[in-house]
Amino acid sequence: MPDRRRGLAGLLRGGAFRGRLTRHLAGPGFWRALALAFGLGAVAALALPPVHLLPALLVALPGLFVMASEAPTARRAAWIGLAWGWGFHVAGLHWLTNAILTEVERFWWLVPIAVPALAVPLAAFTLIPVLLMRLAAPGWPRALAFASAWVAAELLRGVLFTGFPWNLLGTVWAFASLPIQAAAWIGVHGLSLATVLLALAPLAGRRGWAGAAAAMAGFALLGLARLWPAEPEPEPVAVVLVQGNVAQEAKWREDSRWPIFRRYVEMTAEGARLAAAEAPGHRVLAVWPETASPFLLASDAEAARIAGAALPPEGLLLAGTVRAVFGADGRATRVWNSLAVLEPSGRVLDAYDKAHLVPFGEYMPLRGLLPVRLVHGALDFSAGPGLRSLALPGLPAFSALICYEVIFPGKVVGPDRPGFLVNITNDAWFGVSAGPHQHLASARLRAVEEGLPMLRAAQTGISAVFDARGRQVARLGLAETGVVLAPLPKAAPPTPFARLGLAIPLLLVGLSGLLSGIVTHRETRLPRREMV
């Protein structure tokens, strides 16, 4: 067999870019290689929101690919993959430290270890592509195996250990509506697959650059075709998103409860007045962020009456609140993180209880076995029964998503398709950092995938309204106080992803892996044929 079949390049051998990269990355000693891989992973995080430095992937992903391919053993490749993933997640999730700083007097010792410790199990998912791709033939079969295994790892990360599909690689395109339109067909995981292949394309030299340019042009044309039709007339609903900008450390103090509540009530009344003036005859829909009310609206009739009084006649309030069941002694026996629907009289028409809870944030796994308790109070939050559409008079049905429930692709709509999505969240935990921007990118992608408008109310921002194609209708920035006024966009017809969900990226992963396997099998049989 010709020697050119045996090298890493195969079809990629002619690329000068790949040749230079191999010379620089293939030879360092073990510890230097780990440090280099960690640095490349951290560089890759620059492509994530809010920086969106996409060229960083043209160095970081080929660097990982070459180092893992050229590693003399699978064990060394695994260490390189682990180091790369560790750098990527440490840099991408550094903002989580802000949550600890809200109670630094209790958890100061967690500051240097929390994010690096969390990044280790997340980094382990990088082992899947770096090890599986070594089983494929050099050249484009190996690149295809790497890309398909990368997406398989992302899919697993979304379900194992309650799931954490944060900072999926496809979110790097969520800086505008045009680059993410393909998500309506292939979802964010399909965008991740395309992103890995595009990043590796320069290893093939001029042919790779040309192929990447052609693929980018194709995605752009696809996006333009989807965005070209005129947006239909909105629903006769005036949306008021209330962003109170309440610092997390002040949120539950006894002396702050009434001032915070009054701020939300007054801002709602002012926003409703402006909305009624801009859109006379439209029903006003006000939305408060997650746990915005320091009073339990579902059981505190006076607080509910005061909140409802801020609404105009026929208005509705979707308020983030805690819901509780009390025992005979007056103490809460169960609590839920909820969205309550109030009418102007203060009557609670319906409520949605968060179903996908955050471990260590809303409940303690292995309660009683761990030496430290991070959740406040004697009770963990209880999980609600699951996603469902809430149908209210005068409104299209909607699906409520509390906090990070919005980050799960294909899992934001219940059995009955709603007319729009509502995401309420409290990103005050994370301060002015990359975290709220990354959370917003996930919400925007869910709108495109499902073909549904997204209303997002965040405690300290970023609050926004996106239409069914992910175009930004209105927005209020991070750490700002105010209201977002916007019409309620109409839903689009169900997208292919809305119909088939994760079956589409699973099919793409399967086909890519199968194609790589078929070519690899043929490559391994060629020497026998030549000997015959």
User: Which tens digits make up the pLDDT trace of 193-208?
Assistant: 999 999 999 888 888 8
User: Residue type at 375?
Assistant: V
290 included as an active-site residue? yes
What pLDDT sits at residue 22? 55
For the chain, what percent of residues have pLDDT higher than 90?
Answer: 65
Distance CA 41, CA 83 (A): 8
> Which range scores top for mean pLDDT: 239-248, 324-333, 435-444?
435-444
Taking only the tens place, the pLDDT of each residue in 120-165 is 999 999 999 999 999 998 888 999 999 999 999 999 999 998 899 9
| pLDDT at position 12 over 90 | no
Structure tokens at 325: 């069941």
Q: How far apart are CA 219 and CA 426, in angstroms?
A: 34
pTM for this predicted structure: 0.90
Mean pLDDT of 34-42: 96
C-alpha torsion 524→526→530→532, nearest 10: 80
52 CB-near residues (< 8 Å, 6+ apart): 172, 175
290, 449, 450, 523: which is the annotated catalytic residue? 290
Task: Please tell me the predicted confidence (pLDDT) of residue 113.
Answer: 84
| 410-432: pLDDT as tens digits | 999 999 999 999 999 998 888 88
pLDDT at residue 103 greater than cutoff 80: no
Of 514, 438, 416, 530, residue with least CA distance to 149: 514
Higher pLDDT among residues 489 and 520, named by residue: 489
**Catalytic-residue membership of 354:** yes
- Name beta bridge partners: 487: 238
pLDDT recorded at residue 367: 59
What are φ and ψ of residue 239, in 5° steps? Answer: -95, 135
Q: What is the DSSP letter of 330?
A: S
Is there a contact between 452 and 418 (Cβ–Cβ < 8 Å)? Answer: yes
Q: Rounded distance, CA 268 to CA 66, Å?
A: 55
Rg (CA), the chain: 25
Read off the pLDDT of residues 468-483 as tens digits, 9 standing for 90 and up: 999 999 999 999 999 9
pLDDT of residue 376: 52
Q: Which of 154, 343, 354, 523 is catalytic?
A: 354
Residue 322: pLDDT over 70: yes
Contacts for 374-378: CB closer than 8 Å, 24+ residues apart:
374/107, 376/252
Q: Which two tokens stand for residue 352?
A: 């949605």
Structural domains in the chain?
Answer: 3-228+502-531 (no CATH), 235-500 (3.60.110.10)
Condensed to tens digits (0 to 9), the pLDDT of residues 431-450 reads 889 999 999 999 999 999 99
Lowest mean pLDDT: which of 200-204, 312-316, 495-499, 526-530?
Answer: 526-530
- Is the model more confident about 124 or about 30? 124
Backbone angles phi, psi at 325, to 5 degrees: -115, 135
The DSSP secondary-structure symbol of 177 reads: S
The C-alpha atoms of residue 496 and residue 507 are separated, in whole angstroms, by: 13
Average model confidence (pLDDT) across the chain: 88
405 with 422: CB under 8 angstroms? Answer: no
Please report how many Cα atoms fall inside a 13 Å half-sphere around the Cα of residue 168, on the Cβ side. 32
Q: What is the 3-state secondary structure (H, E, C) of 344-378?
A: CCCCEEEEEECCCCCECCCECCCCCCCCCCCCCCC
Is pLDDT larger for residue 12 or for residue 265?
Answer: 265
Contacts of 67 (CB under 8 A, 6+ apart): 25, 26, 33, 36, 37, 77, 80, 84
Candidates 235, 403, 405, 523; catalytic one: 403
pLDDT at 531: 30
473 Cβ neighbours under 8 A, 6+ residues apart: 464, 465, 466, 467, 486, 487, 489
pLDDT at residue 213 tops 60: yes
Query: Is 233 assigned a catalytic role?
Result: no
Amino acid, res. 329: D
357-407 pLDDT per residue, tens = 888 776 666 555 454 444 455 578 888 899 999 999 889 999 999 998 999
Cβ atoms of 420 and 398 within 8 Å: the answer is yes
Interval 265-284 mean pLDDT: 93
Does residue 241 register a pLDDT over 90?
yes
- Please name the residues in contact with 424: beta carbons below 8 A apart, sequence gap of 6 or more: 287, 288, 289, 290, 292, 318, 320, 339, 400, 401, 402, 403, 456, 457, 458
Task: Provide mean pLDDT across the span 484-490.
Answer: 96
Q: What is the mean pLDDT of residues 250-264?
A: 87
